[in-house]
Structure 1
């Protein structure tokens, strides 16, 4: 499409230029005839024969031919360079599109592996942990031996701790709320859980319920992006306040996360998990915005475009 448009523009300009050249040639020839320029030139040249002025027209003709040849050569080279540049740009665009597709596929494979691992941990490990804990409780309650009762109670506490850790790992691998309650509830639980890990951080969030319409890769990547940003804040920001916002605008899912921490220069911030965030944003052809200054905290803005394939169908 773009190539046809460029050819049309080139054809229009070429037609205009040749028309102008013909018009100028015609006007000059009429002026030469009207004012007898050639006869006057011959008369003037005969008076200065010693300077060989009469040979000047031929010299000018040869110079004109040489300049024409030079111009045509440069013009052809210019067209070849433009064509080569356009071809290179098309190849770069194709490579970028292919890279984006491969990156998106890689992230989808990772998420599927996490989902599978979470399911196996829940079905297999969870089942045996529950059975072992039940047996330890039965052993503690059914034994009159004080030592055995204490050992059984210790085992019970250890198994309870393992269950909590396993539940947390499963939640990180694949948040149940994302599948069961939708994106808004999953994000809300994520913010609350992350902030609970640090009692010094006060969290405020504004998550529009309309984001529940988002599904597919956009939903899980939005969750992972929010998860990484909040983890960075808890670990590195030394912040006392965190603001989180999620909404839909202009057919995009918008995420905005900010804190009042110590901040960092942007090149340093880029090392705090931002590479993974950028990969997820790029895989969905989104936009990532960052602002950070020392002592003024960090702002991260993400815009992920939506289409019909990532919007959940309404159930009527």
Structure 2
């Protein structure tokens, strides 16, 4: 964790102890003392002449006693007010500390995701540039051996065909690894083209499902972190469809549009419009019970990716009622951080 992160041990202190029993005891003791004093010295007889007729019942001493009780209760209420203010200040400090720690955790999660995607990009390039060209050369050499050995060396011809098949198989496997590590066309053609290619791939894998992709707005100028996050959201959503709703109708909607920002109550800034990107995916599959515990981490990872960029992630589903998720992310997310 960075050095500027707050240390919980340095800012934590025990909550203030309740003084209600002690203060209440003081009120009762003072009230009893006032009653004894008034009874012994007939204080109220001198102050309240109209109560003299009730002296044989000692009820004429009640005004003084009630006066002391009223003052004691007022003091008791004042003590409770001060104690409540201290408790509120203490809780507010804890909430601010929790917000700082949550912000630090989200920043660390965002940095970890950036490092992961950067490593994936480098690995994909290495696989494509190094292994790809050598496999292509092996395939070409094997084809040359095959052509030269058609009539003269049948065994060499057979071995060369096996070598070509092995090279083609490894090349296809490496291509699949590259696509999983780094989406095809994301860097060259942009996010919309990469998503269209991704959806087309799932159309081939899931012929019983129907897919609809709608993209509106300009998606140029986004940070690499935001671009890959949006792609991974759709990719993870389609993966969930393949697991739980492989025969459903799936609709993917992505739009970039302005939204009115919420004004900070502690500042005097006026409301302003900010660009945000909304990604929505819905299917009419069997749905899930969101309150039930789940083993997978896909939805948790989606939420963490979005919230690490300062966005919001919401889900809605019920058994036999389909599944929907909606992510809202500021379009400027990740631009303040260096992108390699």
Please report the TM-score for the alignment, with normalisation by the length of structure 1.
0.78
CA distance in 2, matches of 1:75, 1:155: 85
Alignment partner, residue 138 of structure 1: 144
Q: Aligned pair 1:255/2:279, yes or no? A: yes
1:170 aligns with 2:178: yes
Kindly report the root-mean-square deviation, in angstroms, between the aligned alpha carbons of the 2 structures: 2.5
**Where does residue 298 of structure 1 map in the other structure?**
323
Inter-partner Cα distance in structure 2 for 1:183 and 1:65: 72
* Aligned-residue offset at 1:107: 0.9
CA distance in 2, matches of 1:195, 1:268: 30
Question: What residue is the counterpart of 1:16 in the other structure?
Answer: none
> Counterpart of 1:210 in 2: which secondary structure?
coil
Q: 1 CA distance for matches of 2:332 and 2:310?
A: 12
Partner Cα distance (1:187, 1:67) in 2: 70
Alignment gaps of 5+ in structure 2: 1-43, 260-274
2:112 to 103, 106, 112: 106
1:206 aligned onto 2:203: no
- In 1, are the aligned partners of 2:252 and 2:280 still within 8 Å (CA)? yes
Deviation at 1:152, TM superposition (A): 0.7
Which residue in the other structure is 1:7 paired with?
Answer: none
Match of 1:281 among 296, 301, 306: 306
Query: In 2, are the aligned partners of 1:239 and 1:259 still within 8 Å (CA)?
Result: no
How far does residue 85 in structure 1 lie from its aligned partner after superposition? Answer: 1.0
Cα deviation digits, residues 262-281 of structure 1 (max 9, x gap): 32323469555212111112
Tell me, yes or no, if the aligned pair for 2:217 and 2:256 is still in contact at 8 Å.
no
Can you list the C-alpha shifts for 1:25-53, whole angstroms capped at 9, x where unaligned?
xxxxxxxxxxxxx9996432344443445
8 Å CA contact retained: 1:258, 1:298: yes
- 1:184–1:212 Cα contact (<8 Å) kept: no
Residue 299 of structure 1: CA displacement?
1.9
2:203 to 190, 195, 206: 195
How many residues align? The count is 274
Structure with the higher fraction of residues in helix conformation: 1
- Give the equivalent residue in structure 2 for 1:25: none
Q: Say if 1:308 and 1:230 are closer, same or farther in 2 by CA, change over 3 A.
A: closer
- The Cα offsets for residues 145-191 of structure 1, whole Å up to 9 and x where unpaired, read as 11211211121122112112211211211124111111111111111
Pair 1:240–1:70, CA change in 2 (3 A): closer
The 2-side partners of 1:39 and 1:50 are apart by: 12
User: Are the equivalent residues in 1 in contact too, given 2:223–2:333 (CA < 8 A)?
Assistant: no
Distance in 2 of aligned mates of 1:264 and 1:57: 69
2:25 corresponds in structure 1 to: none
Q: Is the 8 A contact 1:104 1:284 kept in 2?
A: yes
Cα separation, partners in 2 of 1:295 and 1:71, compared to 1, 3 Å: closer
| Structure 2 residue 102 is matched with structure 1 residue 117 | no
Q: Aligned equivalents of 1:279 and 1:259: distance in 2?
A: 22
Matches within 5 A, 1:230-269: 230-249=238-257, 250=259, 251-267=275-291
Instruction: Give the match's secondary structure for 1:302.
Output: strand
Measure the CA separation in 2 of the matches of 1:68 and 1:54: 23
Q: Distance in 1 between matches of 2:280 and 2:174?
A: 30
User: Equivalent residue for 1:22?
Assistant: none
In 2, Cα distance between equivalents of 1:268 and 1:56: 63
Instruction: Report the TM-score, using the length of structure 2 for normalisation.
Output: 0.73
Q: How far is the alpha carbon of 1:129 from its aligned partner?
A: 1.2
- Check 1:185–1:268 CA distance in 2 against 1; reply closer, same or farther (3 A cut): farther
